[in-house]
Structure 1
Amino acid sequence: MEYIGATGKPISFNDIPIREGIDFHFILGFAIDSDAKGTSQNGKFSTYWASTITRDSISTLKSQHPNVKVLASLSGWSMGTKVLHWYAPQNQELWISNAVSSLQTIIQTYHLDGLDIDYEKFDNSNQTFAYCIGEVISRLKNQNAISVATIAPFYNTTLPYIDLYKRYGNVIDYVNHQFYTDKVKTPNTYFQDFELRAKQFQVEKVLPSYEVNGRGIQGDAFFEAMRLIQRNGYNISGVMIFSADASMSNQYYYEQKIQDFLLNSTSTP
């Protein structure tokens, strides 16, 4: 899984290496229930990913690579300099109805396969989060509008995501935990962090993650951490990368290396 389009840089799917024999999920950053000024729209989502990511480019990508799925990520950290918050809707059912309707339109327009949930700021208003988001995912899946749903917690948002997962884990396919925010930089500490997140969620759904040229563990140490996880009896179902935008500068080196690692891993189905 790889995030793409969040920085606004002009980026093309054509440049990104995609191996056969592996499920490759692109996660578009971001669809936001706010207007262009960051004002909340009560569940009415709009798209804010790079303008080069179009309906036609996604259609072409999927026709060339049947192993590709494309998801819309909801919210993210900020819109420009404005930090985005989960807010408690006054009418939860109206928020859910608006979200389902607006997301259906986006899904149909862009030929999307699923959603990634990436709300990152709660301000003690997370009581409605699990129900609202869980119901949106459930209803879109029940309508066959989406086939995959992921969540993207990090150290500071673990509790609301654990609540969401406990109540709606049956409709959540993967947990894209942002390990790079946990400030672990060695294989041993990464493994310990993975064990913690595996206990908090469902181990087979937790994907290790890597931030290109960013925070947390970097370079070969990441792959040693993956091997350490495997040596301790865990299967690695996949890896989440943040992000393709950053990888433009190094010719997608880690996309290639991570796919090769997964394809050559005896622990990967």
Structure 2
Amino acid sequence: MMEYIGATGIPMTFDPVSVEDGIDFHFILSFAIDANSSGNSQNGVFSPYWVPTLTPEGVAAIKESHPNVKVMASLSGWSLGDTVLHWYDPEDPDKWVSNGVSSLKSIINKYHLDGIDIDYETFPKNQTKFAYCIGGLISELKNQSVITVATIAPFYSTTDPYIELHDGYGDVIDYINYQFYTDKVRRPQGYLETFKLRAMQFGAEKLLPSYEIAGRGIQGDAFFQALELLEDSGFALNGVMIFSADAGSQNGYYYERESQAFLLNATTV
């Protein structure tokens, strides 16, 4: 189970979120950004921009009370305030990787984190150093045993750079948090067809179905009908990604509870 938390400015904490002890639950802090508060790039020097109520003490406490919980930092996201964030090719990619490792190691140690999620969402049209930089960053963090899990979060218009990243560094990527809600599919059969397409691009083994609470794409219990259809079609349901706990707080974390119940009862998990 993967869930983003802390991106919207709502003063969130981990405690109210429904966590079943029988399933691995990954909270994804949103976001750590290699930019200053004005949105100017910092050459791989990351800073945390999730809500300040998600504290290092809070991370330590939720992990102590639920040993099945891991906490990650998502990198970049769509924007910082009103400033849209873009992937930029650093002049010295190796220096960017070195800065990224150093700055993230500091954040990871401070917040007791277990991994990182890659969520750069805007790219230049020409070929970039994205795969080289991000692949190198994940590899080095894993080689140094700084993290134990790494995920990527492509969506419909960013598949190309993420396919390149996955093709080159798939051995250090654990899950694909594909944002299926961006495909604007609202019915279970359409969800299945889209899942098949993304499974061809990234492989089915690491691909997680995803849901945006009160947002885009499939909504309500049709999502769970789609999960049943995926299972009936032979896909192993290795987890669910939800965006986000901030929205889930408005409905008593219904989708978190139902998703975990579905996964615990799934025959292919």
| Range into which the TM-score falls when normalised by the shorter chain | over 0.9
8 A Cα contact 1:87 1:126, kept in partner? no
1:185/1:216 contact within 8 Å kept = yes
One-letter amino acid matched to 2:197: L
SS of the residue 1:13 aligns to:
coil
State the Cα distance separating 1:21 from its structure 2 match: 0.9
Distance 1:257 1:251 in 2: 11
Letter of the structure 1 residue corresponding to residue 159 of structure 2: T
Structure with the higher fraction of residues in helix conformation: 1
User: What SS does the corresponding residue of 2:113 show, helix, strand or coil?
Assistant: coil
C-alpha separation in 1, matches of 2:192 and 2:82: 34
Q: Which residue of 1 aligns with 2:97?
A: 96
Where do residues 119-158 of structure 1 align in structure 2 (5 Å cutoff)? 119-158=120-159
1:196 aligns with 2:201: no
1:52 corresponds to which residue? 53
Change (3 A) 1:125 1:82: farther
CA contact (8 A) 1:86 1:125 kept: no
Q: CA deviation at 1:66?
A: 0.2
Equivalent residues of 1:88, 1:126 under 8 A apart: no
Give the drift of 1:125.
5.0
Q: Name 1:8's counterpart in structure 2.
A: 9
Q: Deviations over 1:81-110 (max 9, x none)?
A: 110000010111111110010000000000
1:16-61: CA deviations, max 9, x gaps? 1100110000000000000000000000000000110000000001
Query: Which residue in the other structure is 1:260 paired with?
Result: 261
1:30-109 aligned within 5 A = 30-109=31-110
Provide the residue aligned with 1:171 in structure 2: 172
Instruction: Give, in angstroms, the shift of residue 267 of structure 1.
Output: 1.2
RMSD, matched Cα = 0.7
Q: Counterpart of 1:181 in 2: which secondary structure?
A: helix
Residue identity opposite 2:129 in structure 1 = T
Give, as a single letter, the amino acid of the residue that structure 2 aligns with 1:130.
A
Secondary structure at the residue paired with 1:205?
coil
Which residue of the partner structure matches residue 110 of structure 1? 111
TM-score by length of 2: 0.99
Q: Which residue of 2 aligns with 1:242?
A: 243
3-state SS of 2:87 partner? coil
Runs of 4+ in 1 over 2 A off after TM superposition: none
C-alpha separation in 2, matches of 1:76 and 1:122: 12
Q: Give, as a single letter, the amino acid of the residue that structure 1 aligns with 2:39.
A: G
Q: Measured at CA, do residues 125 and 68 of structure 1 come closer, stay the same or move farther in structure 2, by a change above 3 Å?
A: farther
Post-superposition shift, 1:126? Answer: 4.7
Distance in structure 2 (CA, Å) of the matches to 1:24 and 1:247: 15
Q: Distance in 2 between matches of 1:14 and 1:237?
A: 24
1:182 CA drift (Å): 0.4
State the identity %.
Answer: 61
Letter in 2 for 1:185: R
Tell me the distance in 2 between the aligned counterparts of 1:64 and 1:87: 40
The C-alpha deviation readout for 1:105-142, integer Å capped at 9, x for no partner, is 00000000000000000022552000000000000000
Q: In structure 2, the residue corresponding to 1:15 is in which secondary structure?
A: coil
Mapped to 1, the partners of 2:95 and 2:13 lie a distance apart of: 36
- Distance of 2:231 and 2:56 partners within structure 1: 38
- Structure 2: any 5+ residue segments left out of the alignment? none
- Give the corresponding residue for 1:18: 19
Matches of 2:127 and 2:30 in 1, distance apart? 22
Corresponding pairs, count: 268
Please give the alpha-carbon distance, in whole angstroms, between the structure 1 residues aligned to 2:242 and 2:69.
Answer: 15
Counterpart Cα distance in 2 of 1:141 and 1:46: 20
- Rounded Cα–Cα distance in structure 1 between residues aligned with 2:70 and 2:173: 16
* Distance in 1 between residues matched to 2:30 and 2:260, nearest whole Å: 21
